[in-house]
Structure 1
Amino acid sequence: MGKVVGFELSSQEPEKAAKFYSEVFGWEISEANWDYWPVSTENSKERTGINGGISKGPNDYPHGTRIQIEVDSIDNSISKAKDNGAMVVREKMEFEEFFLAYLVDPTGVGFGLVQRK
């Protein structure tokens, strides 16, 4: 519980950001789906890393980086976070293999919660 499993870079120019990170760091960028470009940072056995993505930043988070934290129960984690001063900026969303929600901690740092199905 509480393991960092990914990241998301928000940009108003995601294609430009994808090109930059691919050229500079050798990240493998996949085709976009729903304005989200999946990123693999591990391209060999010697290089391991956390995978994530680059997205077209929404109005509530136009630029920045958010980590994604895997939890056993997204509902319990959202409740606990709210009880400790967090604000939910995106309610729980359902995807094929996981649930995802975005929150902001009491200091203003954004993060995502992920629960695998």
Structure 2
Amino acid sequence: MNPVVLFELSSQDPDRQAQFFSTVFGWEVSEPNWGYRTAKTGAGESQGIDGGIAQGPSEFPQGTRVQIQVENIDVSIAKALENGATVSQDKMDLGDCYLAYVVDPVGVQLGLIQYK
């Protein structure tokens, strides 16, 4: 089973969005690093799924995506394609992980992440 390990919130006003989630829900949102703000949603016994807030790219200007941890990103991309998905962002090497985005058969964007 592949777990959901992160989320991403995309918008065209990430500063405003970060302020909203920090103020309303008490999330710890970092200062932007390359336009990406990490968001911590829990601590101690109140663990949450952490993620990030960023300016949405042209193919996903606003919305929420989950990132699913996979054992082998190439195999998972191939399996997704065989089952009706399309690739919206090819595999990227981010140093400590590989990341790609697919769109499932009904149009939902998902991230696939393989930690090295």
TM bin, normalised by shorter chain, reads: over 0.9
Provide the rounded CA distance (Å) in 1 between the counterparts of 2:45 and 2:76: 34
Gaps of 5+ in 1: none
- Equivalent position amino acid for 1:76 in 2: V
- In the other structure, the counterpart of 2:10 is 10
Q: Which runs of 4+ in 1 moved over 2 A?
A: none
So what's the TM-score if we normalise by structure 2?
A: 0.97
- 1:64 aligns to 2:78 (yes or no): no
Q: Give the C-alpha shift of residue 31 in structure 1.
A: 1.6
- In the other structure, the counterpart of 2:26 is 26
- 1:109 aligns to 2:100 (yes or no): no
- In the other structure, the counterpart of 1:74 is 73
Report the 3-state secondary structure (helix = DSSP H, G, I; strand = E; otherwise coil) of the residue aligned with 1:100: strand
Provide the rounded CA distance (Å) in 1 between the counterparts of 2:11 and 2:59: 12
Q: Percent identity?
A: 54
Provide the rounded CA distance (Å) in 1 between the counterparts of 2:61 and 2:74: 26
Provide the rounded CA distance (Å) in 1 between the counterparts of 2:72 and 2:29: 30
Report the 3-state secondary structure (helix = DSSP H, G, I; strand = E; otherwise coil) of the residue aligned with 2:33: coil
Report the 3-state secondary structure (helix = DSSP H, G, I; strand = E; otherwise coil) of the residue aligned with 2:111: strand
- In the other structure, the counterpart of 2:48 is 49
Q: Give the C-alpha shift of residue 47 in structure 1.
A: 1.5
So what's the TM-score if we normalise by structure 1?
A: 0.96
Give the root-mean-square deviation of aligned CA atoms: 0.8
Q: Give the C-alpha shift of residue 46 in structure 1.
A: 3.1
Gaps of 5+ in 2: none
Q: Give the C-alpha shift of residue 96 in structure 1.
A: 1.8
